[in-house]
Amino acid sequence: MRQSISIDNHSGFHFTVLRTSLAGGLLGLLHGLVAPSTSYFADPAGLSGSWSFFYGASAVALLGGAAVLPVRASQRALLGFVVVLGGLSTALSAKWAGSCCALTGPIGLSVALGLYLASGGLSRGQAVLAAVLSAVATFAAQKIGPALSAQDFMLELPDRVSPLLAGLGTGLVVGSATIARHLKLKVNVVDKELQGLLPAAGADDEIAKLVTQAMTSYEQAAECLDEHLQARQMAEQLIKKIARFGKKWQEIEAQTRKGERAQLEQRIAELQGRKDAATDDSVRTEYERALVALREQLSYLGEIEKGLARAVARLHHQVATLDRLRLAALRHRSAGAAKFGEELKTVVDELQQAGQELDIAAEVLTESPN
């Protein structure tokens, strides 16, 4: 099995970035309307003391609330805390302007948003990644306003356009940092070996359908068995055995189509007629020898057909075993059953037994002449 990291919800991530960008634009407009001469986006370290707390608190409230909607009471409480933290940090930064502590505001806002963007039921590793990435992005985003204000073309624009553009850019950067919240570690259950054993696309014979059904059940079960490695490994071994067994029988079935039963029976009938019509004993003997060979072929074909029927029945049993594992895993995920480990032991035993049966059948198949 291979592991890969991917975005589990692309549309959700895109909407988050859009929502946060718009919130940043609103923040820029708000700051420009309240006190355009001391806009936080123009000079983060040069805020007037009377507005410094408002600027920091509103930045955390709008950007944080847009990036991660506070749907839970715990999130709302955390948002309130980081809003106060952001406001206090910018107030202290304004008070200590010109000293080495002037970075208190940018760092405080970064920490505040980093803490909040790591909330919401994330795993420990994902929360740490979200916090660090969000804090770094927030700190970098606070350089957008001063950088824009330093550009000559900004002087030709209306006064409120500068904070609007800076706010949009800040929201875009902060929203993009939420990608850490949408990353998911996925297990690719189809490795190269198994991929080469699966039926070709479009195959519609019964064995191909059974192998495909088994593969679907295995994939769905494997997604729910992150905490039960033994069961997943047993299921992986079984699906590979099913695929090998099915592929072997597909090859045999394809070869037997060259000498179909109807053609053999037609040739037997034709040679039997010639034998009956022959008057020479040596000719009749040769025809009889040919008929014996054709009847043996017909007998072999009958044995292959019986073996194929047994193989199909056996595959139905193995697929049902994987289906049971899939449903047991889904039940565990939906109900969180405490006794799932005990229930799973029975299914694992069945998986092991099913794999042993396929090993025996495959060994007999290898030894038998095709």
User: pLDDT for 104-141, tens place per residue?
Assistant: 778 888 899 999 999 887 878 888 999 999 999 988 88
293 vs 222: which has the higher pLDDT: 293
The predicted pLDDT at position 226 comes to: 65
Q: Are 43 and 177 in contact (CB under 8 A)?
A: no
Please provide residue 47's backbone torsions phi and psi, each rounded to the nearest 5 degrees. -70, 145
The predicted pLDDT at position 174 comes to: 92
Structure tokens at 314: 């056996």
Give the domain ranges of the chain: 2-185, 191-367
Residue-averaged pLDDT of the chain = 77
56-65, 252-261, 288-297, 307-316: least confidently modelled range: 252-261
| Mean pLDDT along residues 41-64 | 71
Q: pLDDT digit string (tens) for 160-189?
A: 777 788 888 889 999 999 998 888 766 555
Rg, Å, the chain Cα set: 36
The predicted pLDDT at position 337 comes to: 47
| Mean pLDDT along residues 81-105 | 74
Q: What is the model's pTM?
A: 0.54
Residue 23 to residue 28: CA distance in whole angstroms: 9
Q: pLDDT digit string (tens) for 282-329?
A: 888 998 898 898 888 888 888 888 887 888 888 888 888 888 877 777
Residues 354, 358, 362: CA angle, nearest 5 degrees? 175
Distances (CA, A) of 265 to 79, 196, 261, 273, 311: 83, 37, 6, 12, 25
Dihedral sign computed on CA atoms, order 198, 204, 210, 215: positive
Tell me whether residue 227 is exposed, middle or buried, using C-beta atoms within 10 angstroms of its C-beta: 0 to 12, 13 to 18, 19 or more: exposed
- Read off the pLDDT band of 61 (50, 70, 90): very high
- Read off the pLDDT band of 45 (50, 70, 90): very low
Give CA 49 to chain center in angstroms: 50
Q: Kindly tell me if the per-residue pLDDT of 38 is higher than 50.
A: no
The share of the chain scoring above pLDDT 90, in percent, equals: 12
- Read off the pLDDT band of 333 (50, 70, 90): low
Q: pLDDT digit string (tens) for 199-221?
A: 766 667 788 888 888 888 887 77
Distances (CA, A) of 278 to 12, 30, 69, 158, 275: 84, 109, 94, 112, 5
36-40, 128-132, 135-139, 238-242: least confidently modelled range: 36-40
State the DSSP code for 66: H
218 CB contacts (<8 Å, ≥6 apart)? 189, 235, 236, 238, 239, 322, 326
